[in-house]
A and B are shown apart, each in its own frame.
Chain A
Amino acid sequence: MMFSKSKKSKQKFIACTNKNKKYEFINPKELYIKQGKENIPIEIISDKQGFVYLIWKKKKYIVDIIEKNQNQYEVLVNGVSYSISVESPFSYKRRKFLDKNKQETKVERVQAPMPGKIVEFLVEENQEIKEGEPLLILEAMKMQNEILSTIHGKINKINFHANDNVMKDDVLIEVEK
């Protein structure tokens, strides 16, 4: 019959890095990576201790997923981490569409580069600041670090107080461009 042509389903995955580089894989379970026109097989080995290695083009890579949240993966390859979000062709298009329509943000969020304790804030809300100006002092592993502003602007909001403990990536200060 005309419409019942059975076709083996072709599942396509688009893996995007945090720098928006994309890699496409069709049916990854078939265990090959396409390079140019050639399908180069990839081999998975796991040992008794639970280490997983991939072998591709005669090279061995040790892989480990250290964090996973829905389609977001943090993959360690030989100890170096890569942030990968895996999309379907549909979700990839949606993502691009949303990115395009995203308003250019006017607020710069200053995040804690590492977990630590805030020693003091060197600025106040509504204060005008210049690029490179110190915003606060963060103590981490007993070292005091100055956190500098990356932009010119005005302090919109300070989210913590001196002596507060903060986690990595906590938004400490919001600066309005």
Chain B
Amino acid sequence: MKKIKSILIANRGEIAIRISETAVKMDIKTYGIKTSKEPGAYYLEFMDEVIDFTELTNDIPEFLDIDRIIYALKEYDIDAVHPGYGYLAENPYFAQKCIDEKIIFIGPSPDAIYKLGNKTIAKQIAANNNVPLLEGSNGNIRNTKHAKLLAQKIGYPVILKAASGGGGRGMRIVEKEEDIEKMFRMAQNEAEKAFADPSVFMEKYVRNPRHIEFQILADHHGNIIHLGERECSIQRKHQKLIEESPSVALNDELRAKMGESAINIAKASNYRNAGTVEFLLDELGNFYFMEMNTRIQVEHPVTEMVTGFDLVEWQIRIAQDEELNIKQEDVKLTGWAIECRINAEDVQTGFSPFLGTIDQIQIAKTKNVRFDTGISEGSNVTANFDSMLAKLICYGETREKAIQNTLNALSKLYIKGIKTTIPFCKAVMNHPKFKSGDISTSFIPNEMKQLFYQEEDEELIAAFWASLNHNVQLEIEDNTYVDYEKGKNITPWLMNKRLKSL
């Protein structure tokens, strides 16, 4: 295969910038896509050339418009396409279309995307390769009666998941039999809406598990390695909020065992390129295969920080048929890295999306701090895109130092104009159980009394600042209004008389 000279980045935000940075380093020309929803977006400044999609008026989001993207690739004679995460990253039809049009899709084969993207088939692959699985429905649930019988067999609690789902959507935990029929219908409904596929399967629900995932790299020459684990247990409603690498829960022996399982799944599905195998780890150290993500992940920087490898670079190198020259024994996890997702969400009202304009953004960058973002001053946060604004990734020689560096960086990260998850991240970093590594995917509901970090006198400061601003405001108004009571004290008699007349 020929060397890639140009890449279309079929994505936006921080990941588009992230990909372009590696492309620049590799002397590859980058093309970006400009949409009518954010024509002045920050990521476009990082592209060598911008392709204008603003004329598109159909309902399909621009980054999902396969025909238009393929047309652009051919029109500009671009060698390869990098889909980033989300959008077309795990769409086997798009990957196939690229092959048909002789364009390099930076990612795995359509067949691998399809098989691993379908959770039922993926579980079958795991089962055939001696990778531990949670007891489950081994396929889709046919109807409510079937759901009821299965749940009785597996035992409550059970979890219902959309067969074509991901990212926590279409998932329902059912605690007791009374709820099973209603929950099954809701899960189907949600799956149908989100993925145009109402298929739902069931499995045993593990209480307080850890989310551990393994980063895989596989080339076209039969070489396959893992780059250690990431722990993503700090989640809310199955959405990851804080990730780290390595994990306190793994020793070398367990790491080797889980890594081998991850590699076995990748091998069995003829996997190429970068991928992630997700496991649940229970309190006894048993692990269970969950799914394989066939793309670069949001949290990939923590792996890059502790291994020193550029994952996007390896994605491109593998796509242009280079041989993976890293051997498993060359992979060393050195130090500790923590990633905080900075989302435009109001933690104080249940993480509801916070829309608005970013007036200013300030970060103190040091050698231990990496800040991947797709926003800059004046960026608008709209309902068109997801709420993630940036990722703050901090390194330390030990976990303790990484936490300390994260706290320092968070205290110097200011985003003016909107509310973000920064106070939440501070609350986690300050939590004694997080510090001791005693975490699970139930950490937020079980351990966090308050979801945001607060300093002692903050409310007093807020009250003062509001009063001072009001004082100034009133004086401005005073210049236009005549206040007949100015300088006079209102007598209690006068006040009471007025109150009565209200």
Contacts and interface: CB of A to CB of B under 8 A. Distances in A.
A78 B458 contact: yes
Interface stretch (B87-95, B295-303, B411-419): B411-419
Interface in B417-438: 417-420, 422-423
B189 interface: yes
A68 to B, nearest CB: 8
Given A61-B461, A81-B419, A71 B186 contact: no
Nearest to A6: B487
A1 interface: no
B454 A86 contact: no
Contacts of B482: none
Interface string A66-95: 101001010111111110101001100110
Interface in A121-150: 137, 139-144, 146
Contact of B461 (A17, A27, A54): A54
Nearest to B351: A114
Given A113-B349, A113-B352, A13 B471 contact: yes
Interface string A28-66: 110001000000001000000111001011010111111
Contacts, number: 161
A98 interface: yes
A141 B465 contact: no
Contacts of B495: 90, 93
Given A50-B359, A51-B360, A114 B350 contact: yes
B386 interface: yes
B383 A115 contact: yes
A168 B352 contact: yes
Interface string B170-205: 000000000000000010011001100000000000
A51 B463 contact: no
Contacts of A51: 360, 362, 414, 416
Contacts of A86: 466-467, 470
Interface string A137-177: 10111111010000000000000000000001000000000
B189 A119 contact: yes
A56 B350 contact: no
Interface string B381-416: 001001100000000000000000000000000111
Contacts of A75: 462, 465-466
Nearest to B346: A81
Most buried by A among B452, B463, B486, B498: B463
B469 interface: yes
Given A93-B499, A115-B352, A142-B169, A66 B419 contact: yes
A114 B237 CA distance: 15
A90 B471 CA distance: 15
B329 interface: no
A63 to B, nearest CB: 5
A51 B361 CA distance: 9
A164 to B, nearest CB: 15
Contacts of A62: 414
Nearest to B182: A134
Given A81-B419, A93-B499, A114-B350, A15 B464 contact: yes
A139 to B, nearest CB: 7
A78 B425 CA distance: 12
Contacts of B189: 119, 144
Contacts of B455: 59, 61, 77-78
A106 interface: no
B457 A57 contact: yes
B472 interface: yes
A65 B471 contact: no
A97 B495 CA distance: 11
Contacts of A42: 464
B353 A115 contact: yes
A115 B355 CA distance: 10
The 5 closest A-B pairs by CB, nearest first: A114-B352, A15-B463, A82-B462, A73-B466, A84-B466
8 contacts: A9-B486, A13-B470, A25-B463, A50-B416, A78-B454, A82-B462, A86-B466, A86-B470
Interface of A: 9, 11, 13, 15, 17, 21, 23, 25, 27-29, 33, 42, 49-51, 54, 56-57, 59, 61-66, 68, 71, 73, 75-82, 84, 86, 89-90, 93-94, 97-98, 113-115, 119, 137, 139-144, 146, 168
